């Protein structure tokens, strides 16, 4: 029964998306093209990458708001080293950035395990700390397209397949490859391994998870490190797409990704969440973002719509949970 | 001496906080004393404390009940935008002069109560965790402000209003008086009334509070209503000092208010902490940010220091509590 409700929730999201797209298409027929789809995937690819990591953290009952700072730290440091040493290898970029990201994620996990305080406060602190360390000790200069390693630009412009549309060639960005791989790996970890089951158990009840033999601290170590790894990948993808390196981008957009995960049906108190739901959440936000201009509103209406959807989805899902709990005489507050 | 020892044993966090503040005063006096402790700078600090202080009080209240309110800064900015729109005549309904200022303040207070009540209703009626509920309302409130202004600042307000931000009473800024009175009242309510006791119990253990005949939902609503009200007052003060309102003013305040609450001895899980701790922490924080301004630190360095501070204070609290536990069990 419970599974049905969650599935229905995602179906409703999908129906809303379809109807909204139809509405936009009626006002502006130019919206209906394969170009729009490819564009949506390209602009949302960075958020798709991190929302998968955040999803695992949220299923385990935690939250992470430092992942954008981690992504920036990883990519900025890596690319600065590459420019200085003259390395031009995509594998090196991803490898080192993932390593740095994983290490920073590990620091988050250690702090949360050690201090036993709400992860929001700790990761809010580390977000500032990581960004501060990076800009103070590593560098705070921007790098333009000219000095960046050329493999990054090639990756950012690469397409899987492309065809001729009315006026230009359109193609599906190669950034979907890492996202698909990560989504598949994450699905496997979450549903087919003990650690994945442990993540869900930890999110539902830490005490219960401990009693059946899971080690909550170790699960947290894994989850936050994994998010760090994905943030490292995401940082490189972002730089490749923008084709420039800034020390102050990304940081500050974390809460939009959290919002996307929540809209996608992830339970903030943990234990529930689907990869497909989180992906839908990101796509809805980016769809709104890119179509408001097409239906005649300026982009400054974006926050209002996202906020309204967010509040409604929080209210609906929390209220369902509360009714269910009250029926079983469970009082969480 | 005995008295001091008693005081320190009673509330070791508060004693440490006082020591830190004194240390900050002495250190800044030694190194940059010629710029730090001029009459002009102390005046400037007294003007800057209220807007930040009210936001801290709002954050403190939400932390006391084990929650968090992310929407305070967005609410303050959007309320300031409403107020500015009344004051520059767009929504003035034909009023002018003093009547318009009174109307503007009424609009601001009404809007802040509505914003706070909306948070409270959302959280109490649906049992949504406050972190995520206020993330939603933060986006919503900022969205209202963005949709109204398109991101540009609303200015051109009647000159009489900025007098509120400049006025002095007995040599001390009027807004500082308001802040001191509000802090005092809040301290009294929290420590001396039934409502205050109920609030601490609700924050410490909501389930126990529910079964002790405390109306949890009303408690939650009232706390978020107060939070919204404080955010609104902060918005009015910001408008009167800056003379214009825009979305995104003071975004770094979120981290700073969290630091103030943590240093001030408010436990993020709720139920612990006092107003006097937060008041000293606000002064400490203002000393620091004034010193940073005088030393012309870059925003990046400030970010590093604030981030490190939050983590260090959390770690320090952890160790102190562990020591106290050890001391008690022995």
Phi, psi dihedrals of residue B37, rounded to the nearest 5°: -105, 45
Q: How far is CA B248 from CA A101, B59, B97, B114, B150, in A?
A: 29, 18, 29, 21, 12
Measured between alpha carbons, how far is B206 from A129 in angstroms, rounded to an integer? 33
Are B147 and A300 inside 8 Å of each other by CB? Answer: yes
Measured between alpha carbons, how far is B154 from B121 in angstroms, rounded to an integer? 30
Measured between alpha carbons, how far is B177 from A172 in angstroms, rounded to an integer? 61
> What is the torsional sign of CA A102, A108, A112, A117?
negative
Measured between alpha carbons, how far is B327 from A294 in angstroms, rounded to an integer? 67
Separation in Å, CA of A164 to nearest CA in chain B: 37
Q: So what's the pLDDT on residue B211? A: 86
Measured between alpha carbons, how far is B160 from B51 in angstroms, rounded to an integer? 19
Measured between alpha carbons, how far is B149 from A300 in angstroms, rounded to an integer? 8
Asked if residue A241 has pLDDT above 50, the reply is yes
Q: So what's the pLDDT on residue A252? A: 78
- A60-114 confidence digits (pLDDT tens): 988 999 999 999 999 999 988 988 888 888 888 899 999 999 999 999 999 999 8
Cβ-based burial of A172 (10 A; exposed 0-12, middle 13-18, buried ≥19): middle
Q: Say if CB B189 and CB B275 are below 8 A apart.
A: no
CA atoms within 13 A on the CB side of A209: 24
Q: Which of B143, B206, B254 sits opposite A307 (nearest CB)?
A: B143
Give residue A98's region: left, alpha or beta (phi > 0; psi -120 to 50): alpha
- Write the DSSP string, A236-299: HHHHHHHTSB-SSSSTT-HHHHHHHHHHTT--TTSS---HHHHHHHHHHHHHHHHHTTTTT--G
- B163-185 confidence digits (pLDDT tens): 777 777 777 888 888 899 999 99
Question: Within the 306-325 window of chain A, which residues sit less than 8 Å (CB to CB) from chain B?
Answer: 306-308, 310-311, 314-315, 318-319, 321-322, 325
State the pLDDT confidence band at A2, using cuts at 50, 70 and 90: very low
- A176-221 confidence digits (pLDDT tens): 888 999 999 999 999 999 999 999 999 988 889 999 999 999 999 9
Which candidate in B127, B152, B215 is best for mutational testing of the A interface (most A CBs within 10 A)?
B127
Measured between alpha carbons, how far is B176 from B164 in angstroms, rounded to an integer? 11
Residue A277: closest CA among A317, A235, A248, A245: A317
Cβ-Cβ contacts under 8 Å for A107 (sequence gap 6 or more): A126
Q: Say if CB B269 and CB B7 are below 8 A apart.
A: no
With an 8 Å Cβ cutoff, is B321 touching chain A?
Answer: no
Question: Within the 153-182 window of chain A, which residues sit less than 8 Å (CB to CB) from chain B?
Answer: none
Q: So what's the pLDDT on residue A167? A: 65
Pull the structure tokens for residue A106.
């590990």
Q: So what's the pLDDT on residue A187? A: 93
Residue B182: closest CA among B60, B66, B304, B303: B60
Q: Which of B135, B206, B258 sits opposite A121 (nearest CB)?
A: B258
Strands (E), A30-117: none
Pull the structure tokens for residue B131.
């972190």
Are A318 and B128 inside 8 Å of each other by CB? Answer: yes
Measured between alpha carbons, how far is B134 from B149 in angstroms, rounded to an integer? 22
Residue A259: closest CA among B155, B168, B131, B222: B131
Residue B35: closest CA among B323, B208, B291: B291
Residue A200: closest CA among A106, A120, A276, A267: A267
Q: Say if CB A68 and CB A281 are below 8 A apart.
A: no
Measured between alpha carbons, how far is B205 from B198 in angstroms, rounded to an integer? 10
Q: Domains of chain A: which residue ranges?
A: 2-327
Buried b / exposed e over B50-72, threshold 16 CB at 10 Å, is bbbbbbbbbbbbbbbbbbbbbbb
Question: Within the 196-215 window of chain B, which residues sit less than 8 Å (CB to CB) from chain A?
Answer: 206-207, 210
Q: So what's the pLDDT on residue A287? A: 87
Supply the mean pLDDT for chain A. Answer: 86
To which H or E segment does residue B127 belong? none
Are B311 and A126 inside 8 Å of each other by CB? Answer: yes
With an 8 Å Cβ cutoff, is B169 touching chain A?
Answer: no
State the pLDDT confidence band at A29, using cuts at 50, 70 and 90: confident
Report chain B residues whose CB lies below 8 A from the CB of A260: none
Longest dimension (CA), chain A: 64
Are A268 and B251 inside 8 Å of each other by CB? Answer: no
3 state DSSP class of B173: strand
Question: Within the 124-163 window of chain B, which residues sit less than 8 Å (CB to CB) from chain A?
Answer: 125-129, 131-133, 135-144, 146-147, 149-151
With an 8 Å Cβ cutoff, is A110 touching chain B?
Answer: no
Are B146 and A136 inside 8 Å of each other by CB? Answer: no
Q: For residue B251, what is the nearest residue in chain A, using CA coordinates?
A: A252
Q: So what's the pLDDT on residue A1? A: 42
Which candidate in A135, A285, A314 is best for mutational testing of the B interface (most B CBs within 10 A)?
A314
- Write the DSSP string, A127-194: HHHHHHHIIIII----B-TTTS-HHHHHHHH-EEEEEE-SSSEEEEETTHHHHHHHHHHHHHHHHHSH
Measured between alpha carbons, how far is A150 from B70 in angstroms, rounded to an integer? 41
Which candidate in A120, A121, A332 is best for mutational testing of the B interface (most B CBs within 10 A)?
A121
Tell me the mean pLDDT per 10 residues along chain B, length 330. 56 78 82 76 85 91 89 92 85 76 89 93 87 90 88 79 78 86 92 90 86 87 92 90 83 87 84 87 88 84 88 85 78
- CATH code that applies to domain A2-327: 1.10.3470
Residue A46: closest CA among A11, A78, A71, A29: A71
With an 8 Å Cβ cutoff, is A114 touching chain B?
Answer: yes
Torsion of CA B130, B131, B134, B135, to 10 degrees: -160
Report chain A residues whose CB lies below 8 A from the CB of B141: 307
Separation in Å, CA of A173 to nearest CA in chain B: 30
Report chain A residues whose CB lies below 8 A from the CB of B132: 258, 262, 268, 314
Q: For residue B119, what is the nearest residue in chain A, using CA coordinates?
A: A311
Pull the structure tokens for residue B187.
């301290």
- Structural domains of chain B, ranges and CATH numbers in brackets: 13-324 (1.10.3470.10)
With an 8 Å Cβ cutoff, is B314 touching chain A?
Answer: yes
Q: How many CB atoms lie within 10 A of CB A314?
A: 25
Are A298 and B133 inside 8 Å of each other by CB? Answer: no
Question: Within the 227-256 window of chain B, which residues sit less than 8 Å (CB to CB) from chain A?
Answer: 251, 254-255
Phi, psi dihedrals of residue A171, rounded to the nearest 5°: -150, 160
């Amino acid at each position: 029964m419970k599974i049905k409700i969650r599935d229905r929730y995602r179906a409703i999201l999908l129906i809303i998306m379809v109807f909204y797209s139809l509405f936009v298409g009626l006002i502006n027929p130019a919206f209906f093209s394969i170009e729009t789809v490819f564009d949506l995937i390209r602009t949302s690819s960075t958020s798709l990458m991190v929302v998968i990591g955040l999803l695992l953290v949220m299923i385990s009952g935690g939250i992470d708001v430092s992942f954008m700072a981690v992504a920036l730290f990883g990519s900025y440091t890596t690319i600065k080293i590459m420019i200085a040493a003259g390395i031009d290898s995509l594998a090196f970029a991803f490898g080192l950035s993932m390593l740095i990201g994983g290490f920073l994620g590990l620091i988050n996990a250690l702090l949360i395990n050690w201090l036993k305080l709400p992860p929001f406060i700790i990761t809010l602190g580390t977000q500032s700390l990581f960004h501060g360390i990076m800009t103070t000790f590593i560098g705070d200069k921007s790098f333009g397209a000219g000095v960046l390693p050329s493999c990054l630009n090639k990756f950012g412009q690469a397409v899987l397949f492309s065809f001729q549309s009315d006026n230009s060639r359109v193609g599906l960005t190669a950034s979907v490859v890492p996202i698909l791989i990560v989504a598949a790996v994450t699905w496997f970890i979450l549903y087919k391994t003990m650690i994945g089951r442990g993540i869900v158990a930890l999110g539902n009840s830490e005490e219960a998870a401990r009693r059946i033999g899971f080690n909550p601290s170790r699960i947290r170590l894994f989850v936050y490190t994994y998010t760090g790894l994905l943030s490292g990948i995401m940082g490189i993808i972002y730089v490749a797409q923008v084709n420039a390196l800034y020390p102050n981008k990304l940081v500050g957009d974390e809460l939009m990704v959290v919002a996307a995960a929540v809209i996608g049906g992830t339970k903030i108190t943990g234990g529930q969440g689907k990869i497909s739901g989180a992906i839908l959440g990101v796509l809805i936000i980016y769809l709104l973002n890119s179509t408001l201009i097409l239906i005649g509103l300026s982009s400054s209406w974006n926050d209002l719509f996202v906020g309204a959807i967010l509040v409604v989805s929080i209210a609906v899902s929390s209220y369902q949970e509360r009714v269910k709990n009250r029926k079983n005489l469970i009082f969480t507050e | 001496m005995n008295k001091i020892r008693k005081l320190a044993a009673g509330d070791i966090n508060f004693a440490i906080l006082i020591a830190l503040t004194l240390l900050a005063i002495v250190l800044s006096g030694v190194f940059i004393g010629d710029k730090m402790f001029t009459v002009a700078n102390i005046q400037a600090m007294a003007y800057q404390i209220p807007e930040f202080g009210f936001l801290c009080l709002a954050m403190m209240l939400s932390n006391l009940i084990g929650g968090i309110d992310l929407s305070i800064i967005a609410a303050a900015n959007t309320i300031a935008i409403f107020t500015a729109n009344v004051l520059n005549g767009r929504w003035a309904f034909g009023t002018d002069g003093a009547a318009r200022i009174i109307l503007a303040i009424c609009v601001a207070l009404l809007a802040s109560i509505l914003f706070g009540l909306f948070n409270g209703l959302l959280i109490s009626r649906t049992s949504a965790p406050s972190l995520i509920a206020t993330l939603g309302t933060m986006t919503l409130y900022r969205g209202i402000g963005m949709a109204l202004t398109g991101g540009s600042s609303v200015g051109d307000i009647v000159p009489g209003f900025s007098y509120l931000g400049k006025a002095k009473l007995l040599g001390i800024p009027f807004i500082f008086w308001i802040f001191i009175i509000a802090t005092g009242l809040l301290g009294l309510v929290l420590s001396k009334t039934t409502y205050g006791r109920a609030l601490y119990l609700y924050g410490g253990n909501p389930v126990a509070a529910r079964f002790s005949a405390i109306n949890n939902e009303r408690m939650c609503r009232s706390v978020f209503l107060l939070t919204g009200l404080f955010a609104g007052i902060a918005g009015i003060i910001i408008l009167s000092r800056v003379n214009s309102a825009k979305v995104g003013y003071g975004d770094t305040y979120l981290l700073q208010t969290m630091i103030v609450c943590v240093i001030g001895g408010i436990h993020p899980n709720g139920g612990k902490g006092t107003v006097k701790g937060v008041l000293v922490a606000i002064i400490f924080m203002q000393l620091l940010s004034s010193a940073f301004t005088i030393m012309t630190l870059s925003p990046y360095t400030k970010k590093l220091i604030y981030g490190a501070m939050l983590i260090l204070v959390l770690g320090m609290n952890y160790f102190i509590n562990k020591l106290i536990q050890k001391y008690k069990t022995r």
